[in-house]
Structure 1
C-alpha cells in the first residue's frame, strides 16, 4: 500500500513539473512574440516617420488620405515617442530650411507636450531625454526649467542641462561653470566646445575666473576653450598654471601654451622643465616637436645624454630627428664612448623617421 502511495505521489510530481515546464515554454514564446511585434512595429513605424519627414522637407506633403493614416498612428503613445526620437535625430543631420521643416512637424503634431512630460518625470533618463528634445527643437520657454536642472544630483540630467544651456545661449550658457563642483567628463567638455562658435570680446575677466576655479575639470575645459579660440591675452594666466597641484592641468596648460605660443614659449619650457614631473616633461617635448624651434637643440641634446628617464631620452631623440639632426645622432651612435642604451634609443628614433 505504501509503495502505491509513493508511486502516486511521484506521478503527480512529474505531472506538476511538466505543467511548469509547459507554462514556462508558453511564457517564453509569448514574450518572444511580443518582442518581435515591438521590433516589427518600430521598424515599420520608423519607415513611415522617415517618409513623412522626407515629404515635409521636400515640400510634397499634400496627400490628405496619407495624413489621416499618419494621424491614426499618432494615437499610439509608442509611435509618438518614436516620432519624437527620430525628429531629434534628424535635427542633428540637417540645417537651414530642412531644419525648419523638422521643427514645424514637432509643433504641428504637438510633440512639445511629450517632451515637457518627460522633463517632469522622476526617472533620470526620461528627464534627460526631455531636456535633449526641448533643446533640439529650440523651445526657449523651457530654459528656466532646464536651468534649474543644472543643480540636479543625477549625472545624466545635469550634463544634458549643461549642453542644452550652451545650445540655447552659446558662450553665455557656460555661466554654470562659475559654481560647478561636479565632474566635467572629457566627452562632456567636447560636446560643450563643439556647441560654442564664438566668444564675446569682453570675456577675458570671466575666462580668467574659470582658470582660478577649485574644480580641476573647469580649469581644463577653460584651457581647451582658450586653445580653440586662440585667446592670446590669456597666455600669462596659462603659464602660471604650470605650478598647479594637478598634473592633468599642467599637461593641458603646456598644450595651450603651444597653441597660443609667442617668442618666449620655448625658453619658458626649458626653464621650467626640471621642476616638472615626467608626464609634463614629455608634454613639453611633444610641444617642442610641434614648434620645430632650433632654439631647443642644445637643450634636447642635454636631455638625450643626461636625463635619468628613458622615456624622456626617447622623446628628445625624436624631436632632434624632426629638427633635422639625423647626422648628429648617427655620429654619436658610432662613438666608442656612447653607451648601449643610448645607441638603441637613437636607432629607434631614426627608424621611426623611416616609418
Structure 2
C-alpha cells in the first residue's frame, strides 16, 4: 500500500489531526498489537505508524514541556522502533523528571544495545532498582549476545548505580568469567551495592581463588544479615567443608554468625566440633572462692 493510500484511509476512518482522541486510540492500538506481527507485517505497522496525523506525532510529544506527555512520546518512539529520533531522546537522559529520564534510558538500550553502557558514567541522577531491572531485561530480550568488550569498558565507572547495574547484567547473562567484578563489591561501604553483590554472586560457583576472596571479604561486611546470606551461599557450594573458615566464624562472629556457622557444621556432620565449641564457651567454671569444694 502506498503512503497516499494510507493517509486517505486514515482520513476516511476519522484519524485526522482535528480529532486527537481518535489519533491516540489508533496509536494505542498499534502499540498493543505490534508485538504480534513479524516480518513484512511488522514493517507495514511501522510505516502506518509514521503516517498517523499529525505526522511525527510521537516526536511532537517528545518535545512537549509537560513531563507526562514527553515520557509517553519517548515510550511510543522506542516501542515502535522509530530509531531516527535517537538524537532527540539522548538529550533527555538526564532530565530532572524521573519518568522522562527513565524512558529515555530504556530507549537508549532499545536502540543502541550494549553500546548504551558507555553513557553510564555521564548520567547525573541515581538509577533506581526498578530502572536497573528494566534495562537488564531489555538487553536480555533484544541483545542476548553479550558484548564483553563494551561491558568491560564500563567497569571503570565509579557511580554506585552503574556498579549495581553491571553486576545485575553479569548475573542475568551468566557471565562466570566476569564474577571477579562482583566479588570486588562484596565489602563495599555502600549497603545497596553490597546487597547487589551478595545477590548476584549467589548465582555462580566460584573458582578456588575466588572462593578464598569471598571468605576473606565476609569478615569486612558490617551488616550481619548480609554476612549471614554469604555464609548460607558458601555452605551451598559443592566443595569440601573448610573447617578453618567455620572455626574462625565461630570465634570471630557475633551470636548470629556463630549460630549460622554452627548450623552449617552440624548439618554437614560435624556434630562433635559444634558440641565441643559450645561446651568450652558456655560450661560453668566456678572460681576458687565460690567453689563448693573449698575447705571449711
Partner of 2:75: 132
Partner of 1:142: 85
Partner of 1:208: 155
Distance 1:206 1:81 in 2: 41
Partner of 1:286: 232
Distance 2:273 2:181 in 1: 42
Provide closer, same or farther for how the CA distance between residues 306 and 83 of structure 1 changes in structure 2, counting only shifts above 3 A: same
Partner of 1:353: none
Aligned residues: 267
Q: TM-score, normalised by structure 1?
A: 0.64
User: Structure 1 residue 118 and structure 2 residue 61: aligned?
Assistant: yes
Q: Unpaired segments of 5 or more residues in structure 1?
A: 1-66, 341-355
Are the counterparts in 2 of residues 288 and 319 from structure 1 also a CA contact under 8 Å?
no
SS of residue in 1 equivalent to 2:171 = helix
Are the counterparts in 2 of residues 112 and 134 from structure 1 also a CA contact under 8 Å?
no
Q: TM-score, normalised by structure 2?
A: 0.75
Higher relative contact order (CA 8 A, sep 6+): 2
Distance 1:338 1:95 in 2: 71
2:161 to 217, 221, 224: 217
Partner of 1:226: 170
Post-superposition offset of 1:317: 5.1
Post-superposition offset of 1:235: 4.1
User: Cα deviations across residues 212-259 of structure 1 (Å, max 9, x unaligned)?
Assistant: x1x211111111122223445544444333453213223333444452
Pick which of 185-194 and 283-292 moved more.
Answer: 283-292
Provide closer, same or farther for how the CA distance between residues 304 and 183 of structure 1 changes in structure 2, counting only shifts above 3 A: same
Provide closer, same or farther for how the CA distance between residues 333 and 110 of structure 1 changes in structure 2, counting only shifts above 3 A: farther
Post-superposition offset of 1:126: 0.4
User: Structure 1 residue 253 and structure 2 residue 200: aligned?
Assistant: no
Provide closer, same or farther for how the CA distance between residues 297 and 90 of structure 1 changes in structure 2, counting only shifts above 3 A: farther
SS of residue in 1 equivalent to 2:208 = coil
User: Structure 1 residue 307 and structure 2 residue 253: aligned?
Assistant: yes
Are the counterparts in 1 of residues 15 and 53 from structure 2 also a CA contact under 8 Å?
no
Are the counterparts in 1 of residues 117 and 154 from structure 2 also a CA contact under 8 Å?
no
How do 1:1-355 and structure 2 match up within 5 A?
A: 71-72=13-14, 76-91=19-34, 93-94=35-36, 96-97=38-39, 99-110=42-53, 113-196=56-139, 197=143, 198-203=145-150, 205-210=152-157, 213=158, 215-258=159-202, 259=204, 261-277=206-222, 278-297=224-243, 299-300=245-246, 303=249, 307-310=253-256, 312-316=257-261, 319-320=264-265, 325=268, 327-329=269-271, 337=279
Provide closer, same or farther for how the CA distance between residues 329 and 108 of structure 1 changes in structure 2, counting only shifts above 3 A: farther
Q: Which has the larger radius of gyration?
A: 1
Provide closer, same or farther for how the CA distance between residues 332 and 187 of structure 1 changes in structure 2, counting only shifts above 3 A: same
Provide closer, same or farther for how the CA distance between residues 200 and 274 of structure 1 changes in structure 2, counting only shifts above 3 A: closer
Distance 1:295 1:331 in 2: 13
User: Cα deviations across residues 167-213 of structure 1 (Å, max 9, x unaligned)?
Assistant: 01111122220212211011111111111123324235413213xx1
Post-superposition offset of 1:280: 3.4
Distance 2:255 2:32 in 1: 49
Distance 2:221 2:38 in 1: 50
Are the counterparts in 1 of residues 167 and 181 from structure 2 also a CA contact under 8 Å?
no
